[in-house]
Chain A
């Protein structure tokens, strides 16, 4: 895509793109830190994630303001219009990723030093890695305008859902084994749910980015396999 006749228009679009990239990077580091803080019971690291969320919120407001000013000033069309509207929506998703990472960080103290079984921390770690890879890949492919990579990434969210279902089952087992695990396991369950939701936001970003780049919407149906509801009723009986 060539440059605009009015070059400051390009600069304004570039600034918005940079903000999306920064928010993507920040969400990645917040997510990584929150998971590490949880698995290593590192309260100081958890506090950093909580304070990082304020930076994330400020960046989102900054982006919103710049995007709205650009619309008012330039009245963008076609690709440019999709780009600006898409950025506003992606920023909202990234801001939510930050909130969910903060929520994980807030639970670090509550889970405490209680012995989390090795296999469990391994499952959470695997899930966090999957989610983190998903968020970074989506943002990366948006920034490099690689539309072809997005549909497979969106489909890959299914792996996260499957992992979530596995953790859900595992946590239920620990709670049934020893009721003293219930508090910690419930918090961990929320953490896993947060990770799963972050995956959903990454999916939204992928869909948005695809629309921005191609002008086409990805089909509504996406492979999905959330078995918790089924398993939940099964185990309660």
Chain B
């Protein structure tokens, strides 16, 4: 299925080189969980090949927004998403959209590394196999190797691809999950606190990886660490009580934010 509409092509053609194209766009996004509203009219653009960080105190709606970008909220009973979310100009909540394909294009990495209880190789090969991306074994081998390389894990695991993924260290497991997400050639990678369960060195490796991945992918990351948001992202969006409070260039957000709530949150004056 071709999801690229004329409007998206138009948008791509008209985006100037110094202004990043908009990969995903949230327009008046609302989310209700069993009638209780969790997000209130969020308007947020996700620029292409940049890292957008979503920050805010617990329960502010940042993860809810992240999960609505690839319809992960569909799996939650009683969840209702309103407004419009587009990927390259196409509504991702359009009933004609194949959700499985959408999640291949918009991959996700979770807070806790969750490798399948299979070998390292199978963890990465699983996606390409079910999506029919590889035509034969050698192509699949190639995808597994390049994905692990892109996730900066290849050199550490190349001699033990048949060992279980769950036997790796926490940081390696998280990079394995990133390799698994990359294997199906996504365009956008969503990361929900990808380093919160990792030690500082593993965190640094994942952050380094995020910086490299930005060359080819659009990344949206939810993080509780201000420093991490400041280090890895180019854009930052601050959420509070279900509202998008402020959004802008990361450099400005962490030195001179416009909104007092942002100021209070990032300087540790909240609550």
Interface residues of A (CB under 8 A from B): 1-6, 9, 74-82, 215-216
* Chain A proximity mask over B231-264: 1 for CB below 8 Å, otherwise 0: 0000000000000000000000011110000111
Residue from A9, A75, A78 within 8 A of B263 (CB atoms): A78
Q: Are A81 and B264 closer than 8 Å at their CB atoms? A: no
Q: What A residues does B230 contact at CB under 8 A?
A: 77
- Shortest C-beta distance, A44 to chain B (Å), equals 48
- Shortest C-beta distance, B271 to chain A (Å), equals 6
> Which of A4, A74, A79 lies at the interface centre, i.e. has the most chain B CB atoms within 10 A of its CB?
A79
B2 within 8 A of A: no
Q: Are A215 and B255 closer than 8 Å at their CB atoms? A: yes
Q: What A residues does B268 contact at CB under 8 A?
A: 4-6, 9, 74, 77
Q: Are A78 and B254 closer than 8 Å at their CB atoms? A: yes
- Shortest C-beta distance, A74 to chain B (Å), equals 8
- When chains A and B are docked, how far (Å) is the Cα of A5 from the Cα of B264? 10
Interface size on B, residues (CB 8 A): 16
Q: Are A75 and B267 closer than 8 Å at their CB atoms? A: no
- A and B contact pairs by CB, cutoff 8 A, 23 listed: A1-B269, A2-B269, A3-B269, A4-B267, A5-B269, A5-B271, A6-B268, A74-B268, A76-B267, A77-B226, A77-B230, A77-B254, A77-B267, A78-B254, A78-B256, A78-B262, A78-B263, A78-B266, A78-B267, A79-B267, A80-B267, A81-B255, A215-B256
- When chains A and B are docked, how far (Å) is the Cα of A215 from the Cα of B257? 9
What are the 7 closest A-B residue pairs judged by CB atoms, nearest first? A215-B256, A77-B266, A2-B269, A80-B267, A4-B268, A77-B267, A78-B267
Known contacts A4-B269, A78-B266; 11 further A-B pairs (Cβ under 8 A)? A1-B263, A2-B264, A2-B269, A4-B267, A4-B268, A5-B271, A76-B267, A78-B254, A78-B262, A78-B263, A215-B256
B227 within 8 A of A: yes
Q: Are A82 and B255 closer than 8 Å at their CB atoms? A: yes
- When chains A and B are docked, how far (Å) is the Cα of A3 from the Cα of B270? 9
Q: Are B255 and A5 closer than 8 Å at their CB atoms? A: no
- When chains A and B are docked, how far (Å) is the Cα of A50 from the Cα of B28? 66
